[in-house]
Structure 1
Amino acid sequence: MINMYQGGYSFSSSQSSIKDSKLPLISIITVVRNGEQYMQSCIDSVLTQSYPNIEHIILDGGSTDRTVEILKKNNDQIAFWQTEPDHGIYDAMNKAIQHCSGKWYMFLGVDDSLMGGFSELAQRLTCENTAYYGCVIYRGVPQYDGAVDRFKLVRSNICHQALFYPRVVFDEHKYDVAYKIAADNVLLLRLWKEKKIKFEYHELIVAVFNHTGISGYDWDRLFFKNRSKLIYEHLGALPYLYHLYLLFEEKANKKIMKRVNKVKKLMKRLN
């Protein structure tokens, strides 16, 4: 009998997520709270993938809407799901990782959806010390930014929804829950410094990244407070100097815009 707070075919039966023994199992992790509007479409985007070996792990943070009802309805299609209160997105992700059996981990927001590029890139996962990543569609536009280097990491992150992490990453690391929105960015910086994991770019659209999640309307104050320190410690002196230049440029542009706006207001009064 399935506990009302847990479910999924791996929890309730001997059904396996592995359909092709020659290919690695990929664990897709979705964390959610009150996501009834998107939950079914998120599940469906996983189910329609052509790549055969996928397990979908969903952790719900104690939803009060119909999210759990939707999870129960899809019980035979989800490897494992659980609902209980958590301490934020990354606490839930850390919990979800404990239920994963895959050789590769991928994180998909409830309001995001997988594209065909996911299955194509999944076929290319060969080196278990490499993190593979592709592109996403954001606000309706494909984001092709190419391979990252330490200078690109100063101004942007690898999109979480386009990144396949090998299991070894989470054998050694967890997300730092002190960072409420940017813990994936902090983990990436730490991995870059360690150099135990290589990063390999493929020009494939892996997912649609929706901007309705928390990162679309809020920002991680602790991350921006520590950003300069993190860049210096994990990327080195030259990227740090580049970061300082960008900060100076941003401040200068703001001052210029303030003066331009003052002139515009003055011209309106004179007219």
Structure 2
Amino acid sequence: MIKVSIITIVYNDVKNIRRTMLSVLNQTFKSIEYIVIDGGSTDGTKNIIEEYKDKLAVYISEKDNGIYDAMNKGLAAATGEYVLFMNSGDEIYDHSTVEEVFKTELSADIYYGETEMFNEQLESLGKRRHSIPKSFNWKSFKYGMNISHQAIYIKKSLTTPYDLQYKYSSDIDWIIKCAKRATKIVNTNMYVAKYLVGGVSKQKHFESLKERFNIFAKYYGLIPTLFNHVVIAFNLATYFLKNRRTND
């Protein structure tokens, strides 16, 4: 049976960590290696994690140098054929999701699916503004990140550590690198994750956008990236106008 390493990164999130962990621990797919990396929480988060310590393959609680440093610790500890990051606040969509993902096709390099957004009151906001592409490759992010980090299962052999020069958008760089190495990428055509809005990249939105632009320019070229951002701005304006009319 395929082994999947699911990695949760957390720091001082006592409100959400249990919900995230139970979404992993209650999966019907049993060949899961669950890894939890805590940044040395002081708000009671560690007490909740330790309630489930006997069900964890790896548990590390220590100070780190940011989210991607913590994610690199999880990646280094992973021994599964596939890795999935399900960070605190987010959830695997349903108790049978992981099992259903691997039923779609055999031996893909990457599996991906759709994400449902939730606010802090856990009210559904519907799917992301960027719908997932029907087919995906390393060029698919040129108009924005249209697959959530929580909604992509990647073969461990394709991965490299996250680039720590990026503080807010290294996940985009990481996924593009993995996709460049992949030969078989499968769209599961289903919701696979629940995403809690308001992460670090949203809190540091301008810095995150600058990093994203630099990452896209590195892979797609400066001039095409400038043009693509005109398209992104137009699509964003159209989206908000359309939704304003709908709400009115």
CA contact (8 A) 1:51 1:119 kept: yes
Query: 166, 175, 180: which one pairs with 2:162?
Result: 175
Cα distance in 2 for partners of 1:119, 1:234 equals 33
- Compared with structure 1, are the counterparts of its residues 227 and 214 closer, same or farther at alpha carbon in structure 2 (3 Å cutoff)? closer
- Compared with structure 1, are the counterparts of its residues 65 and 154 closer, same or farther at alpha carbon in structure 2 (3 Å cutoff)? same
The reply on whether 1:99 has 2:77 as its aligned counterpart is: yes
Cα distance in 1 for partners of 2:144, 2:79 equals 34
CA contact (8 A) 1:180 1:220 kept: no
The reply on whether 1:208 has 2:226 as its aligned counterpart is: no
Query: How big is each residue's C-alpha offset from its partner over 1:114-152, in whole Å with a ceiling of 9 and x where there is no partner?
Result: 123333103346325x11101111131134533345355
The reply on whether 1:137 has 2:136 as its aligned counterpart is: no
TM-score in terms of structure 1 length = 0.73
Runs of 5+ consecutive residues of structure 1 not aligned to the other structure? 1-22, 254-271
Q: Which amino acid aligns with 1:209?
A: Y
Query: 77, 82, 100: which one pairs with 2:60?
Result: 82
Query: 102, 107, 126: which one pairs with 1:127?
Result: 107
Query: How big is each residue's C-alpha offset from its partner over 1:179-232, in whole Å with a ceiling of 9 and x where there is no partner?
Result: 11210101223344x4445432121111111114323322362x5335445334
Q: How many residues align?
A: 226
- Compared with structure 1, are the counterparts of its residues 54 and 225 closer, same or farther at alpha carbon in structure 2 (3 Å cutoff)? same
The reply on whether 1:26 has 2:4 as its aligned counterpart is: yes
1:82 offset after TM fit, Å? Answer: 1.0
| Secondary structure of residue in 2 paired with 1:153 | coil
- Compared with structure 1, are the counterparts of its residues 58 and 233 closer, same or farther at alpha carbon in structure 2 (3 Å cutoff)? same
CA contact (8 A) 1:154 1:231 kept: no
CA contact (8 A) 1:146 1:203 kept: no
Look up the match of 1:235: 220
TM-align CA RMSD: 2.8
Runs of 5+ consecutive residues of structure 2 not aligned to the other structure? 119-123, 238-248
Q: Which amino acid aligns with 1:176?
A: D
Q: Which amino acid aligns with 1:84?
A: E
Look up the match of 1:256: none
Map residues 16-55 of structure 1 onto 2, 5 A cutoff: 23-55=1-33
TM-score in terms of structure 2 length = 0.79
Q: Which amino acid aligns with 2:171?
A: D
| Secondary structure of residue in 2 paired with 1:37 | coil
Cα distance in 2 for partners of 1:82, 1:50 equals 25
Identity level (%): 27
Query: How big is each residue's C-alpha offset from its partner over 1:52-85, in whole Å with a ceiling of 9 and x where there is no partner?
Result: 1111100000101111111221112222111000
CA contact (8 A) 2:143 2:231 kept: no
